[in-house]
Structure formats: C-alpha cells, structure tokens
Amino acid sequence: MQVTDNRRKITVGIFVFLGLAIFILGIFTLGGQKKTFVQSFTVDVIFNDIQGLKAGNNVWFSGVKIGTIKKIQFFGTSQVQVFLNIEEEANKYIHKDATASITSDGLIGNKIIVVTGGSTKMPFVEDGDRLQASNILSTDDIMKTFQVNNKNLVDVTADFKILSKNLVEGKGAAGALLADQQIADNFKAIVANLKNTSESANRMAVQLNTFTNTLNTKGGLADKLLTDTSVFNQLQASVDQLQKTANSASALTENLNKASAKLTQSDNAAGLLINDPKTAEQVKSIMNNLDGSTKKLDENMEALQHNFLLRGFFKKRAKEEAKANEKNNKPQ
C-alpha cells in the first residue's frame, strides 16, 4: 500500500516537472518572438490615421523584424502617437531623419510599421527620439482607386459598344467606309491614283537623274561652266563688261535727267529759250533781222557785181571757177 502511494507521488511529480518545463519553454518561446528578453530602446511616431494598427504588431526594417509596437495613444486633437520598441542591434542602421510608414503584411494581413534608415550624414537615433511619419496608400485607398478605375473602364466599354454599333450600322465616316461599297470603291480609286502619282514621281526622279548626268558630260557647256576656269573667267569678264555698260547707261540716264531738269529752269540759255516767252520773242526778232540783213547783203552783192569798177574782178573769178569745174569733171 505504501509502495503504491510512493509510485503515485513520483508519477505526479514527474507530470508537474514536465508541466513546469513546458510552461517555462513556452514563456521563453513567446518572449523570443515578441523580443521580450532582448535589449531595446523606444521611439515614437505621430500619425493622422493608424488604419487599425494595434499594440503588439511588428516593426520591420529592410524586410527584417526589429521590434514591436509598445503602446498607442491619442495625441493632440485628432492624431495618434505610436511607441515603437526597437532592438538595440538595429540602432546602428537607423538615423535621426528616418521615417516610419504603416503598411500591411501582405494584401490582407496584419498592419505593420516599416522604418527607413534615413541619411547616413545624420547621427543614429536614440531612446526617446521621434521619427517622421510617411503617408503611403492604404489598402482602402487602393480599393478606392480600383473602384474609380473600374468605373472608368465601364464607361470606356460602354462608349466602345456605342462606337462599334455605329460602325456596324454605317454611321460616321469610318462606318460609311466599312459599310458603303461606293465609298470603299472611291477609296480604292484614291489609293490607285496615289500609286500612279508615286510611280510618276519615281519616273520623274529617274529622268531628272539622267538629265543631271547629261549636264556632267565631259566637254559639255554645263561641264565647262562648272569645271573650266578659263570659260568661267571669260563669263565673269563679260559680266563685268555688262556691269560697266549698265553703270555707263545709268550715268547717261542721270545726265539726261539733269539736262532735262535744266530745261525746266530759267537759269540757263536753253531753259530760258524754252520757258521765257519774252526771250523767245527776242530770239525770233533777231532771226527775222538776220534774215532781212542776209537778203539786203545779197542785194548789195548783186549791185556790186554790176558795178563797172568791180565787174572785171567778178568775171575773172567766174572764169577761174568754170575752169576748175571742167578740170574736176574730166575723166581720169
């Protein structure tokens, strides 16, 4: 009887020991997952909306879990202050200008906080520091964007349905082109005309190429003009002569213009004769007087010829003139 009681006590003791061992192992296991027994420091972040974040959620850095959310409390009027419990080993990677953002562990997983390292020029973060919050699109925002995109896609699909219906019914230019055989034939004719025009342009290009090759024929005029310096110099000399002639013509024209301008003025003899009626009358009077004087001179010469004193002189002169005329008129 006593032996049986001892066995029972030993059995109970063994079960109690195994239970304590399992309990202690569970505590250490959970503590290791929650980083309970790891040295850590605390920083906080101020968010406008924590999107369902809870205490105990994980904190990640570069895809590695570095801590957990220690506490969440309201801050100010409508913001939320979140305290992060971060391992001491991660201190040498996180700088004072690091940022923290809320995201999800997968598409529909638990909310987590992701910390960025910040600039290497800044000192490392310390216990009690505050990280800057970085707002990124939440799952709700993404779903709202999907809803807007879906609505736009429905609108586009509806519009395309109407467009395809109009095309089938032959409405509009494109629909008429697809449904109306006459328009299709006209379009084919236009394409054929364009093809003919393109072929004509190609033939013209070939002919133009042939013509240019002809211009480049050795000994031709164009070849001499382009390559023979003597021909070019002669042509240039001709152009210079033409330029001089043109300059002379311009000078002559200018002189004629000046002379014609003088004729309209009264400060010269020609202009005075043309423009002054009084001078013209005087010139006419002088001409009439000269005419009268000439007639009187002729009469006086006639009278002198009949004068007995000079009659012999005039007869002798007349004979000499007659002999000279006969000598000139004799055949050689």
HEC-encoded secondary structure of 99-110: EEEEEECCCCCC
**CB–CB of 82/45 below 8 Å?**
yes
Q: Point out which residues pair with 124 in neighbouring strands.
A: 95
Q: Where are the alpha helices (DSSP H) in 39-82?
A: none
Q: Give the CA angle between residues 76, 81, 84 to the nearest 5°.
A: 160
pTM of the model: 0.38
How far apart CA 199 and CA 207 sit, in angstroms, is 12
- Return the closest-CA partner of residue 60 out of 52, 69, 51: 69
- Return the closest-CA partner of residue 85 out of 24, 16, 31: 31
Give the number of other Cβ atoms within 10 Å of residue 215's Cβ: 13
Strand, helix or coil at 332? coil
Q: What is the DSSP string of 269-329?
A: HHHHHHH-HHHHHHHHHHHHHHHHHHHHHHHHHHHHHHSTTTHHHHHHHHHHHHHHHHHHH
Quote the tokens at residue 153. Answer: 């896609």
Domain extents in the chain: 1-33, 38-136
Quote the tokens at residue 20. Answer: 């304590």
φ/ψ of 45, rounded to 5, equals -135, 145
The pLDDT profile of the chain, 332 residues, written as one tens digit per residue, is 566 767 777 777 787 778 877 877 766 666 555 555 568 899 999 999 888 889 989 999 988 999 999 999 999 888 999 999 999 998 889 999 999 998 888 766 788 999 998 888 999 999 989 999 887 666 666 777 878 888 888 888 887 777 777 666 666 666 666 666 676 777 778 888 888 888 888 888 888 877 777 666 666 656 666 666 776 677 777 778 888 888 877 777 787 777 666 656 666 666 656 666 776 677 677 777 777 777 777 766 666 666 655 566 667 777 777 777 777 776 65
